Amino acid sequence: MADDDALLFAEEDDPATQVVRSKEKFSKPWKVMIVDDEPEVHTITRLALSGFRFEDRDLEFLSAYSGEKAKALLAEHPDTALVFLDVVMETENAGLDVVRHVRNTLGNTMTRIILRTGQPGQAPERQVILEYDINDYKTKTEFTSRKLFTSVVAGLRAYADLEIIEQNRNGLEQIISASASIFKVQSMERFVQGVLTQLVSLLKLSSNAFCCGSGRFARDNGADRLRILAGIGGYTDYSGRLIEEALPQNILDDIHAATASGKDIFADDHIVLFFLSGGGAGNVIYVDGTRDLSVFDKDLLRIFCSNVAIAFDNITLATELERTQKEVVERIGALAETRSEETGNHVRRVAEYCYMLARAAGLDENEAQTLKEAAPMHDIGKVGIPDSILNKPEKLTREEFEVMKDHSSIGRRLLSGSSSRLLDVSAIIAHEHHERYDGKGYPRGLKGKEINIFGRITAIADVFDALGSPRCYKPEWSIDEVFAYMEEQRGKQFDPDLIDLFLARKEEIMEIRESFKDHPATRGELEN
């Protein structure tokens, strides 16, 4: 299966993907909304940002001159990336009402919001900043064009990260539900039909599609003759037929082009996806009538193809699909690492310490293993924190730390609500890894055993490793200082029972530290 794994996560510029793209999707501008009752603010902001591009995409400005207008405009443009929002407009709190409306009523958690207040003294309620995921807040006087630029970059980057995570999460959910059905359906044909159905509905493609192959499920006398394995829509009745006998010449030409080159074809009115299954057999998925596909859509298509390939190989499906999930989770975790300047080995060591403590605390192998796989996600919410705060090379101000603390709730929101146990546990860890045993932690101030055991374990592992590692804001501590701190916080920051178990295993801890050392040359590199 090693070959198929590679195919699962083909990069967007994978040579195996030949793209006949139309420009529109790729030059889609970032929507930036200016909400202010002073027309001058709109003029100045537009002027200061004119010609600005981020990741090869222009800005498209939207303007609203009151809170009520802003609500309507945001409902109309849920894909707004960034909002500059005045606080005082038709009422003292019009801007804050907009924030609540966006997050609560519209359920929009993606759009990044930058509050702007007229007078320095008139700060927005702290509660609103914390609860409603405000990206940044500035007084208008400090909005020089350089600062504006920095804010826009930070905001758009955070939005782009959230978008990628959201796409991955949707794909993951689709895979999970598709794989659940594998165990129920009897025949390969129905499985393939199910996958095609999900594929076209997820990507909003036409429902005329089929899959053909020459593998053992389509075995014929001639080794390379392709048969239709299953179809949907107009191709429903084509199942089992040789392609030469069933399909018109133009489609045959495309199929042959794809199998000969091993490349996908994304044409204006159809898609041809090529993939290999066990023993090197070539397979093709053909979908009629397409729309513009983003790189994420294409990633999803690859994932679906892999799913079919796995089923074709008919090996231990449960194991393989679980691995697929784990890889997606690792990919999401890696994304978080690229934002903060922590090393890949930090999350790996944290995972190992977590596993060690979980076993020591009596959790069974399965639970400990799940914790180990989920632990790398504990700081995923940092993708929602502005760079200026996340990578600030010195101590954070109180206000900045308040924003930083949001990473636990952002993490929970990103990971919760799926049917996967692994993601559920990841959500708990993201949410609770900064709670303290004495109740003085965040975000909820949970106390003692109110904190999930996974959260209590991860807190110990995370802090132990953070203290012993250099950070952009502090040098590393000596190992003796670190152990002294851990011991001192017994029953305060940390669960006393778990700390005892931890401190009784110094030798094992040092071994983990040694085997996953940070090497300066690999800092910040993505692990693959």
Instruction: State the residues that interact with Fe ion by CB under 5 A.
Output: 379, 462
399 binds ligand SIN (CB under 6 A): yes
Cβ proximity of 506 and 353 under 8 Å:
no
Residue 449 CB, nearest approach to ligand SIN (Å)? 5
DSSP character for 12?
Answer: T
Is residue 377 part of the contact set for ligand C2E (CB under 6 A)? Answer: no
Residue 506 contact among ligand C2E, Fe ion, ligand SIN, none, beta carbon within 5 to 8 Å by kind: none
Q: Is residue 64 within 8 Å of 80, Cβ to Cβ?
A: no
Residues 422-441: x/- map of binding to ligand C2E (CB under 6 A)? ------------x-------
Q: Considering only CA atoms, which of 374, 356, 326 is closest in space to residue 515? A: 356
Are the C-beta atoms of 526 and 335 separated by less than 8 Å?
no
Q: How many CB atoms lie within 10 A of CB 304?
A: 23
The site map against ligand C2E for 222-241 (x = CB under 6 A) is: --------------------
Q: Are 432 and 413 in contact (CB under 8 A)?
A: no
Give the start-end residues of each E strand in 233-325.
Answer: 264-266, 270-277, 281-288
Enumerate residues 451-470 that contact ligand SIN by CB under 6 A.
452-453
- Chain centroid to Cα 122, Å, comes to 36
What strand order describes the sheet that includes 53-54? Answer: 53-54, 57-64, 30-35, 80-86, 112-117, 136-139
- When binding is defined by CB under 6 A, the residue of 136, 254, 406, 462 that contacts ligand C2E is 462
Q: How many residues bind ligand SIN (CB under 6 A)?
A: 14
The stretch among 98-106, 219-227, 369-377, 426-434 that binds ligand SIN (CB under 6 A) is 426-434
Contact partner at residue 467 from ligand SIN, Fe ion, ligand C2E, none, CB < 5 to 8 Å by partner kind: ligand C2E
Q: Which is nearer to ligand SIN, 147 or 405 (CB)?
A: 405
> No. of H helices and E strands in the chain?
20, 12
Q: Is 136 in the site for ligand C2E (CB under 6 A)?
A: no
The single residue among 48, 317, 361, 396 that binds ligand C2E, judged by CB under 6 A, is 396
As a dihedral over the C-alpha atoms of residue 476, residue 478, residue 484, residue 490, rounded to 10 degrees, the angle is 30
Task: For residue 125, state whether it binds ligand SIN (rule: CB under 6 A).
Answer: yes
Which residue stretches of 101-144 are H helix? 126-131
Q: Does 446 bind ligand C2E (CB under 6 A)?
A: no
How near is the Cβ of 286 to ligand C2E at its closest, in Å? 48
How far, in Å, CA of 16 to CA of 478, rounded? 49
164 in contact with ligand SIN (CB under 6 A): no
d(CA 287, CA 205): 8
Return the residue of 463, 482, 501, 512 that touches ligand C2E, per CB under 6 A: 463
Does 365 contact ligand SIN by CB under 6 A?
Answer: no
Residue length, the chain?
528
138 is known as an active-site residue: no
Nearest to 143 by CA among 113, 122, 114, 123: 114
Residues 15 and 264: beta-carbon distance below 8 Å: no
383 versus 466: smaller Cβ distance to ligand C2E: 466
471 sits near ligand C2E (criterion: CB under 6 A) = yes
Q: HSE of 169 in the Cβ direction (CA atoms, 13 Å)?
A: 23
Q: By CB under 6 A, is residue 123 in contact with ligand SIN?
A: yes
Among 12, 144, 473, 526, binds ligand C2E (CB under 6 A): 473
Catalytic hit among 382, 392, 447, 506: 382
- Applying CB under 6 A, the residues found at the interface with ligand SIN are 123, 125-126, 363, 399, 402, 412, 427-428, 431-432, 449, 452-453
Which residues are catalytically annotated?
A: 382
